[in-house]
Structure 1
Amino acid sequence: MSDAGQTNSPHVPVMLADVLDVLKPRDGGIYVDGTFGAGGYTRAILGSADCAVLAIDRDPTAILRGRALEPEYGGRLTLIEGCFGDMERLVRALGHETVDGVVLDVGVSSMQLDQAERGFSFQQDGPLDMRMSGEGPSAADAVNHLDEGELARIIAVYGEEKRARAVARAIVKAREETELHRTLELAEIVARVIGRRPQDKIHPATRTFQALRIFVNDELGELARGLSGAEALLHEGGRLAVVAFHSLEDRIVKRFLAERTGRAGRANRYMPESKEVEPSFREIEHKARKASQAEIEMNARARSAKLRAAERTGAAAIPLDLSSLGLRSMPSFLGGAA
């Protein structure tokens, strides 16, 4: 989500009818919901066909809430705590070599934003955490220990913040007096640097918080690995549906599918011709679908949503190349995201 400060909004699955339309669940099928969250897509898939869903979430609280759903579906729902980037390993560990469909709803959920103790939002004071799994280095670790250049790069690339260098400089200066451990502390520092005009629609700290969240959770790398895992698991005719809310995420999905449907040409005309690879996906629709105006009026989160979908061919999966998706090497921090 691009608005890292949106809070107190009930979690409503975005573009649900569109997702079901492209996924086309069938009786006897096996589907992966890689971003279980509140279970909106999972419930809809299980309700539309006599099928099974393998639901993955790295957030242990989401898995705990979902346990209450399992008895309702008579063994058709299996919850898996883990990262959707590891879906190939997680699904095959359960004895499934292939699946009929994969759906991903990328980004942070409104439920996580609403929990002040998770540290995702600057609308409520809380610990500067932002870890979806609750494990590994936190946002506080990042702002207190990364050097100014690394912080500036993260904020510029992942937050697309034009004044990233000034924000990083202010953070480093503030932590020289005392370490930063609260969300409102950081938000105030950023706001002083960026300023805020009455006509501004978003809080000045939005982009910085987004950048730190993406970095701490390695969200873009996770997305790339998840797409590759889906490609490996889907059998011929299986379908992939991805809902993204930010240009950084959508760009990765777009490039991944362009490369695997044969639409991507050579990245550089001076590069030698590469061996032609048989497309591993076929297009369902050339352009991304967007939410209807009616849905946007009912659910503001749908405003920036884009749905891209494709159908698996019988060709071999194409090895994942992060550089072809535009993913840059980023600072590696205490064994965390890179």
Structure 2
Amino acid sequence: MKFIDEVRITVGSGNGGHGSVSFRREKFIPFGGPDGGDGGRGGNVTLVAQGSLNTLIDFRYQRRFRAENGHGGAGRQMTGRGGRDLSITVPIGTLVYDDDTHELLGDLRHDGDTLLVAKGGRGGHGNMWYKSSTNRAPRQHELGGSGEERQLRLELRLLADVGLLGMPNAGKSTLIRAVSAARPKVADYPFTTLYPNLGVVRIAEHESFVLADIPGLIPGAAEGAGLGTRFLKHLSRTRLLLHLVDLSPVDGGEPAEQVRALETELSAYSPTLAAQPRWLVANKADLFTPETAQSHFQALCRNLDWQDPAFLISAASGAGCQELMRKVWLALAELPPPPPPEAIGLWDEDDEPSLNSGEEGGEEEEW
């Protein structure tokens, strides 16, 4: 299944039914008076969060949604049937924006959360509403109200407690495989991970947290290099970032310089995201002897003047991974909740990656 995390859709609520013009006609009742009923209301459009969904791929095949119109009123004071409401299911963690104003309409964080995005039109009054002592036979009626039509942008941000951050081939996917049941692809070339993965880390019974692995970042990611800002947003809901760094980068670079480069990208993308708690995790200790690995690790911390917690692990062998996860679990109990979506900020229209393949109406990019 392809991972789609942003789509644009058009939703429209139903129009209200028109009121009726009718007069009572029965035997021996020559002046029955007006009895035109009201029109039914138009159907509403509602988004509903559903836990069984984890991607917005269904919206590739249907972009327009419209609720049913209300039915018109009838004689004998009969009100028209209201239009059926339309419920659209989306994954948990979906942010809903008005695509014209960029206003955040709602954040569906929990299973069963609902958001009314288009309200149906009101049904019009029948002529019975206009009768009076001076207007015994009114022929006026009210037309049904028009429904709403909105352009929406749905943005999926994964719900995770901890996010993995690092350069390509830093060992993020290997770590999530070592500490959870998630099985992302692992290979010896950059950008093996093309879409985010979630893993549940179980410390003990009823003690667990969710770990998110996003594709590797490179310098210039905030401007769109590599996979760019495409997946940085998925770190916005996390409460703690684990910054993985390879003690022996395949390109021969300095680990400290790689850490500083990604710090710059975080700050350029969102100062709020850059200010989140972040721990340093030096990976691939198994490539050295224990003494050499510890020496490189201490030199890295000194070079960075790192004050936050730092850990030396080997995701391939599992050394130090369980201890790291236990420390993370204890820290999560004291960390504040993630910042609201508004604090992370929206992309500017000019900087936003295109969801089309070049021509208007094309398909979204697949990851």
Q: Structure 1 length as normaliser, TM-score?
A: 0.25
Which has more helix, going by share of residues? 1
Which has more strand, going by share of residues? 2
Of structures 1 and 2, the one scoring higher in RCO (CA 8 A, sep 6+) is 1
Larger Rg: 2
